[in-house]
Amino acid sequence: MSNILHTVNKSPFLNQTLKHCLGRIQSGDSVLLLEDGVYAALSSQPWAMLMNPSHQYYAIKADVEARGLGEDKLLSHITLIDYEQFVELSTEHSTVQSWY
């Protein structure tokens, strides 16, 4: 079984990429939020309920901190990682699909 690492780097409010991605993920896939994509990690964003906790969700910590998003504002099932861990994740998945 192949598993995919999906990356989303656009804000879900101005761009459909988060929705497009979430509509197509399969079990075993993971989602990584980076750059403006990290706004999707807000628990208050309207698509949060689409982010099924049975998948693994990650966000780049430096991008979260840059934008002033405190941990208290984030969905609880998001794991914050750095770029080295991003590389590791890429190797653990069979492919990487970038939604942009």
Partner 1 sequence: MNKPKTKKLLFLFRHAPYGSALAKEGIDAVLAASAYDQDLSVLFMDDGVFQLLKHQKPDDIEEKNIINILSAFTLYDIQSLFVCQESLAERGLRNTDIAIGINIVAHNTVSQLLSQQDHILSF
Q: Which residues bind partner 1 (CB under 8 A)?
A: 9-11, 13-14, 35-36, 39, 42-46, 61-63, 65-70, 73
76 CB neighbour count, 10 Å cutoff: 7
CB closer to partner 1, 5 vs 80: 80
Q: 95 by DSSP, 3-state: which?
A: strand
Q: Are 51 and 22 in contact (CB under 8 A)?
A: yes
HSE-up (13 A, CA, CB side) for residue 33: 29
For the CB of residue 50, give the shortest distance to partner 1 in the complex, in Å: 15
CB closer to partner 1, 28 vs 81: 81
| DSSP state for residue 51 in the 8-state scheme | S
CB closer to partner 1, 24 vs 67: 67
CB closer to partner 1, 20 vs 73: 73
Whole-angstrom distance, CA of residue 58 vs CA of residue 13 = 19
For the CB of residue 2, give the shortest distance to partner 1 in the complex, in Å: 30
For the CB of residue 27, give the shortest distance to partner 1 in the complex, in Å: 29
